[in-house]
Amino acid sequence: MIAETQQAAPPATGLLNTLRNWAVTFKPVLSVLRYLVIVVVAVAVAYATVRQWHAVKSTFGSLSLQAILLSCGAAVVGSVANMMAWRSMLREMGHRIPVIAAGQISCVAQLGKYVPGSVWAYVMQTELGRKAGLPRDRSLLASLIVVGLGITSGLMAGVLAVPALRANHSGDAVVSVALWSLALLLPIALVCSYPPVLNKLIGVFLKLVRAEPLPKPLSYAGVGRAFAWTALAWISFGLHVWLLIGALADPGTKGIGLAIGAMSIAMVVSIFAVILPSGIGVREGILVACLIPLFPGDTATAAGLAFGVALASRLISTVSDVIAAGGFTGAALWLRRSI
């Protein structure tokens, strides 16, 4: 339940003011480039769908209601786990917030990732958090830390998909980015997630935005709890894909690891495609390359089925985000009326 407060927003200073002025100056150019890229990606996805329509149609026709519901449920669990990671980090910073209120803030804000420019999700989360009485800088900081920990755990899980990515590389640019991301970013992410290093980075960030330092450094236990929640999210998202594959092939228990690794690295790389709504196109390209070994038939047939699963995953993930946001909002309204 989000309670309105009369707290006035502090004026943007320092780095935040510079970034705001830069964004205003270059907004027209960035908007044109952003929508141009989105159009190109949308055309590419549409072309791939038409070209492999037989396999895509077969995929959607083979999905049972049970598989769809279970897959959607797993995706909802993943969204809730990410919310709990954010709530856990806020608690580590000394800000306690009820689960339903945290869910309403986090899950509603996540709908902002479908707007071109992923920054809107953070803007929405910060503003919704302010209405619940959370300081803007702490809400944003918790979000950034959780994203960082999520990238670390996602890259670690993504290692499970490396054999499939290398086998189906074929010079694909998106797959190359995924492999290089694992090789270059994982060591850096592991170091930055180490609490002593993380605390130093937090100190630098708070100085740049001219915010008050944390009352105490983040503990190993606090960082570990948030990290564990992000790991649970990746497992859930991987199971979401594995359940869809199970309606078309027999991935077996060994396929669970590949599905978790595939979804993890696909979503992590798509995070950096900030110009695209929810990383559309990037996520699908990596998923297809990873999932080909799980399907029968020649490479072309398997790729078509994998592409169908990737599209089904995108649709079900979107629905699950709406369900999570609507569920927590409905719960908050029910609590408000029952008081």
Q: Where are the domains of the chain?
A: 63-338
User: Which segment of 69-83, 131-145, 227-241 scores lowest on mean pLDDT?
Assistant: 131-145
Give this prediction's pTM: 0.81
* Alpha-carbon gap, residue 87 to 101, rounded angstroms: 10
Enter the DSSP assignment of 159: G
Q: Is the pLDDT of residue 134 over 80?
A: yes
* Alpha-carbon gap, residue 310 to 286, rounded angstroms: 9
Q: What would the pLDDT profile of 160-207 be if each residue is shown by its tens digit?
A: 999 888 876 655 777 888 888 899 999 999 999 999 999 999 999 888
Number of residues in the chain:
339
pLDDT of residue 265: 94
The owner of tokens 């002593």 is 196
pLDDT of residue 289: 87
Give me the torsion for CA of 267, 271, 276, 280, rounded to 10°: 0
Q: Is the pLDDT of residue 9 over 50?
A: no
In Å, the largest CA–CA distance within the chain is 63
Enter the DSSP assignment of 210: T
Burial class (CB in 10 A: 0-12, 13-18, 19+), 205: middle
Amino acid identity for residue 308 in this structure: G
Enter the DSSP assignment of 118: T
CB proximity list for 247: less than 8 A, separation 6 or greater: 62, 63, 64, 67
Q: What would the pLDDT profile of 55-98 be if each residue is shown by its tens digit?
A: 556 666 778 889 899 999 999 999 999 999 999 999 999 899 99
pLDDT mean over 291-308? 84
**Residues 182, 159: contact at Cβ < 8 Å?**
yes
pLDDT of residue 88: 96
Amino acid identity for residue 180 in this structure: W
pLDDT of residue 212: 87
To the nearest whole percent, how much of the chain has pLDDT over 90?
A: 35
Which helix (H) or strand (E) element contains residue 333?
A: helix 299-338
